[in-house]
Amino acid sequence: MPNFQRAILTHGGAGSDPKDFDGPKSAANRGMDLMANGETALTAVVDAVKYLEDDPRFNAGLGSKVRIDGRTMQLDASCMTSNNEFGAVACVENIKNPIAIAHGVLRHSPHILLVGDGARIFAEEYNIPVTGLSGSGDRETPGTSCDTVGAVAFDGTTFAAALSSGGLEKSAMGRVGDVPLPGCGLFCGESGAVACTGDGEFIALKLLAKEVYTWLENNMSPEQAAKKAITLFDQSVDIGLIILTRNRFASNARNGMAWSHIAENE
Ligand code: GLY
């Protein structure tokens, strides 16, 4: 099977309505256009996730769920490449595009994860916008019923993955899920890229993205890996993932998921 020249997969989160695939599709188109114009897989996944953060149907950015106080949004986001670059933020409050700060952490910081006010201060230092969400309890959308948005891409040389999440509905202030933890919500290496979505505590405890990546390294197909990943969890756990290798891809979700892909062969 020939390698992809470039490819991208996007999703709107575990439990998102598959009929809302137009969101992930537009996000994938944007990412693919960027790569076709010479941009990297990292730029593509960050832009795709930013687009999905701006779509209130999905639980990230504008569509984020509120915490137990009924009004505060504390968001997590991350990005990674197969060059072992990683950047993430956790518990950033009322910021529309946390993926932009995670990208900034990857590019500019010696650290891999910044939280709360530290992430905000970092963003201001690098002129990354930190506005956009109302935290005053007057949100028009009460939050969606789905999870984390994500993207994985390959630009012919490098794999990249990105995630952004509004977290669990009514979760405790300060709760952090799988998204900003390397190897939990996402992982990339020479063999491919994996992005997970669903109940973060369960995903993190299984180091799910790294576990699935190891299966790819051992020549399991993405289709088999996507099926097997779901079986690791009890029926009550909401779970989904997208997987990309140099010449194949797969998606799977226990309770449905809006997702899209574009792949161009050499
Ligand atoms: N999967 C996102 C979260 O649990 O926070």
Q: What is the pLDDT of residues 206-230, one digit of tens each?
A: 999 999 999 999 999 999 999 999 9
List pLDDT tens digits, range 29-54.
999 999 999 999 999 999 999 999 99
Look at residues 220, 221, 80 and name the one whose alpha carbon lies nearest to residue 158: 80
Distance (Å, whole) CA 162 – CA 150: 6
Distance (Å, whole) CA 206 – CA 183: 9
Tell me the catalytic residues.
148
Tokens (6 digits) for 77 = 């986001």
Atom of ligand 1 nearest to the CA of 197: 1
pLDDT of residue 167: 87
Tokens (6 digits) for 207 = 């180091």
Q: Please work out whether the CB of residue 15 comes within 6 Å of at least one atom of ligand 1.
A: no
Q: Count Cβ atoms below 10 Å from residue 93 Cβ, excluding itself.
A: 18
Ligand 1 pocket test, pick from 168, 186, 194 with the greatest ligand atom count within 8 Å of Cβ, gives 168
- Going from the Cα of 231 to the center of ligand 1, the distance in angstroms, rounded, reads 19
Number of H helices, E strands in the chain: 7, 11
**Secondary structure of 206-218 in HEC code, one letter for each residue:** CCHHHHHHHHHHC
Tokens (6 digits) for 22 = 């137009």
Q: Please work out whether the CB of residue 166 comes within 6 Å of at least one atom of ligand 1.
A: no
Ligand 1 pocket test, pick from 58, 78, 169, 203 with the greatest ligand atom count within 8 Å of Cβ, gives 203
Task: Evaluate if residue 137 carries a pLDDT over 50.
Answer: no
Distance (Å, whole) CA 155 – CA 260: 17
pLDDT of residue 14: 96
- Do the Cβ atoms of 170 and 67 come closer than 8 Å? yes
**Phi-psi bin for 84: left (phi > 0), alpha (psi -120 to 50), beta?**
left
Question: Which residue, by CA, sits nearest to atom 4 of ligand 1?
Answer: 200
Q: Please work out whether the CB of residue 238 comes within 6 Å of at least one atom of ligand 1.
A: no
pLDDT of residue 138: 43
